[in-house]
Structure 1
Amino acid sequence: MAVPHLTPDAAHELIYEPQQLPNLRSNYGGYLDQSSVGWLKKTSAHISLDEMRMRFETDGYLFIKGLVPREDILDVREVYFEHIRSTGILKPGTSPREGIFDATQDPLVHNGVGGRDLPEDVERQKLLESAHTLPAYLAFLEHSDLRDFIRRFMGWDKDVVLKRTLLRHNVPNGLSTGCHYDRIFLRAGEDFLTAWVPIGDYTADGGGFMYLVGSTDVGKAMEADFMERAEHLTPEERIDGFNQNMARDGQLSHNVVELDADIKAKYSSSKRRRWLGANYGAGDVVFHNPYMIHGAGKNEDSLGKIRLGTDLRYYREGSRVDERWMRDVWRLDDGL
């Protein structure tokens, strides 16, 4: 289906970043070349749904500014860091609402990105797990500004948010989420909508998500290749994001420079693909499709701010969901 050009009024609602490009890197390796980076297009929450849908179809993502009231998001941030304050993660004299890391601590001890890279201390693990059941966080998952928008944007009468959500922090100079596309971990149901919500304010070097624009076709090609090589596996093994064809933690890579070069070599085309970062604010939301390649940048925030965010997945009610993600909230030993 042909995608129409933006109307002048809609183009006016695109909010652009400064000329200076962001410096983006991942857990390992150097910074991406400046010719390979750019800014996410920020969309006002007040343009028409048709224009938003067009942008989502064209770009694979929709970055909406101020969708949720700022203070509601900061309330969740405060509750989360108060919950884990006993680990010593916060800089003395700062508040949980600020979420400033104590730079005298070992970043790896305070890892909170989930998955298979958890801190060794059992008590810290339990706090990360129980954070997913904090009343303030559970109330946010039902936030009317978010849920109502999703139903209108997707044209759904009712929506379902997967029970297993991901609430993750990463401290400056600690580990960040690797590069991946979401379908790797949710292969048992239909396609879905992801919402990534930054719980705080972060500059582009503060560990927020970076997206490889125009990568939906690459994600689909990668998934088709994974499925072809998994034909001999059992049905349970085929849908496993950690099966023998996948990396240990299911990620495509923790080195975005190497991944970028690999994609350019294997999926060359006339399409220009760049990694896009953003200066995120509390209340912003990024929606993306299941095949768009993305990952968290290295948190190198100059003020020591801890990045906190949550990953939410939505289906139309009545569609086939990945039931593995509906059994319980995120648990240490759930195998997903």
Structure 2
Amino acid sequence: MLTSNGYVLSQRPERFGSLQPVPDGERADRSALWQRLDDDGYLYLPGFLDRQVVEDFRRYYFDRLAPAGLTETGGSKDDLDQSTLRRVLFREIVPGRAYDDFCRQPKIVDFFGWLLADDVHLHRRKILRHTRPGDTGIGQATQAHYDLLYLREGTAQVLTIWIPVGDCPVERGSLIYLEGSHRWVQAEEAAGRLQRPAASITADLPGLADDHDARWLATDFRCGDVMVHTSQIVHAALDNVDPDRVTRLSTDIRYQRVSDRIDARWQHDWHDRDGL
């Protein structure tokens, strides 16, 4: 049974399906990738990053947060020293060199430079999320939203790369996408029906799928896989119900052309109380 914020997702074929990977033959074809972004709103790129590089950063993350009681497996909220966790996460890891280097791997920078055909800018506000089994209920998993809701003061052509830092099968709380949602989002945007202030659409993912007669798309991500998506496609996260009690860790970062308008609010280090 898959849930998000406690809501049970239907796995009927008309409401649940699989993300489709970019075929190997299209990975070096810029036009084909842009066509996929237009058609699907996302690029699923299995094995895009060096697995060892990703595993090394995962190890660094949990090593740094071990004094706070955060572990890769097991644990509960009662085990955490929240003061230490917040200090290490927001004062050391987020603004630190190791995280920035991870987000600026040549494989990532070169890919976006090639795809966008321009010099590229990485938004300084880069988000890390860990979710442990049992961290369920409203507000735990990322609710349904599209990124442009939070990036109103910059270009709509910003692209997000979501990186599972370690294996992330669906039961571990992987990211999921509402099929075809970028089309109705684009229509609403064009009609001027903008959500202000920025806010998630809903925590009720089954209800949203019913409202739009659409499927949630998911896959079992492996370490090294990435998702690249547009700022208009609706996505969310599942609850971590991993029977092996492995903590889910991921990061989502954003690249755009340097020649496009940049949202100044996203040029500061991420903090969960920054209001964005």
TM-score (norm 2): 0.89
- Distance apart, 1:200 and its partner CA: 0.5
1:211 and 2:182 matched: no
Question: 2 CA distance for matches of 1:212 and 1:37?
Answer: 9
| Pairwise CA distance, 1:279 | 0.8
Change (3 A) 1:228 1:256: closer
Q: Is the 8 A contact 1:65 1:283 kept in 2?
A: yes
Distance 2:253 2:11 in 1: 31
Matched, 1:193 2:159: yes
CA distance in 2, matches of 1:229, 1:158: 30
2:241 pairs, out of 291, 297, 300, with: 300
**Residue 45 of structure 1, CA deviation:** 5.2
Alpha-carbon RMSD across the aligned residues, in angstroms, is 2.1
Partner of 2:6: 28
Matching residue within 65, 69, 84 for 2:46: 65
Aligned: 1:161 with 2:122: yes
Q: Against the structure 1 CA distance between its residues 61 and 332, is the aligned structure 2 distance closer, same or farther, given a 3 Å change threshold?
A: closer
What is residue 256 of structure 2 aligned with on the other side? 315
* Counterpart residue identity of residue 77, structure 2: D
1:183 Cα shift?
A: 0.7
Contact 2:67–2:84, Cα closer than 8 Å, also in 1: no
Q: Using the TM superposition, give the Cα deviation of residue 229 of structure 1 relative to its aligned residue in structure 2, in angstroms.
A: 7.1
**What amino acid sits opposite 1:132 in the alignment?**
V
Residue 184 (structure 1) shift:
0.8
Q: How far has the Cα of 1:146 moved from its partner?
A: 0.9
Distance 1:228 1:258, change over 3 A: closer
* Higher relative contact order structure (alpha carbons within 8 Å, sequence separation ≥ 6): 2
The answer for unaligned runs of 5 or more in structure 2 is none
- The residue type equivalent to 1:100 in the other structure is T
Cα shift readout 1:136-160 (whole Å, capped 9, x = no counterpart): 2111111001111112122x22100
Deviations 1:53-84 (A, max 9, x none): 22222111000011110100111111111111
Number of matched pairs: 267
Deviation per CA, 1:280-310, whole angstroms, max 9, x where unpaired?
A: 1111110111110000111111111111111
Alpha-carbon offset, residue 333 of structure 1: 3.5
Distance 1:253 1:142, change over 3 A: same
Structure 1: segments with no counterpart, 5+ residues: 1-22, 91-98, 111-118, 231-237, 242-249, 265-272
Report how far residue 228 of structure 1 moved: 4.4
> What are the superposed Cα offsets for residues 245-302 of structure 1, whole Å, 9 maximum, x if unpaired?
xxxxx211112112222334xxxxxxxx311111111111101111100001111111
8 Å CA contact retained: 2:74, 2:247: yes
Letter in 2 for 1:30: V
- Contact between 1:24 and 1:277, CA under 8 Å: does it hold in 2? no
Q: For the structure 1 residues 178 and 146, does the alpha-carbon distance in structure 2 shift closer, same or farther, using more than 3 Å as the test? A: same
What are the Cα deviations for residues 111-157 of structure 1, in whole angstroms up to 9, with x where unaligned?
A: xxxxxxxx9x3333223313212322111111001111112122x22
Q: Name the CA shift for 1:260/1:71 in 2 (closer, same or farther; >3 Å).
A: same
Q: 2:54 touches 2:166 (CA, 8 Å); kept in 1?
A: yes
Instruction: Measure how far apart 1:332 and its partner are.
Output: 4.1
SS of alignment partner, residue 176 of structure 1:
coil
Aligned equivalent of 1:280: 221
Counterparts of 1:44 and 1:217, CA distance in 2: 23
Q: C-alpha separation between the residues in 2 aligned to 1:198 and 1:311?
A: 9
- Residue of structure 2 in register with 1:335 after alignment: 275
Q: For 1:228 and 1:218, how far apart are their aligned partners in 2?
A: 11
Tell me if the contact between 1:77 and 1:199 (Cα under 8 Å) persists in the aligned partners: yes
Partner of 2:147: 182
For 1:66, what is the secondary structure of its paired residue?
coil
Aligned equivalent of 1:123, options 61, 75, 84: 84
Q: Is the 8 A contact 1:44 1:65 kept in 2?
A: no
How many percent identity over aligned positions?
30
Instruction: Label 1:153 to 1:188 Cα distance change in 2 as closer, same or farther (>3 A).
Output: same
Runs of 4+ residues over 6 Å off in structure 1: none
SS class of match (2:108): helix
The aligned residue for residue 220 of structure 1 is 186
SS in 1 for 2:183: helix
Give the distance between the partners of 1:52 and 1:70, measured in 2 at CA: 23
Residue 13 of structure 2 corresponds to residue 40 of structure 1: no
Change (3 A) 1:126 1:222: farther
Q: Output the CA distance in 1 between the equivalents of 2:9 and 2:70.
A: 27
1:252 aligns with 2:207: no
Q: In the alignment, does 2:66 pair up with 1:85?
A: yes
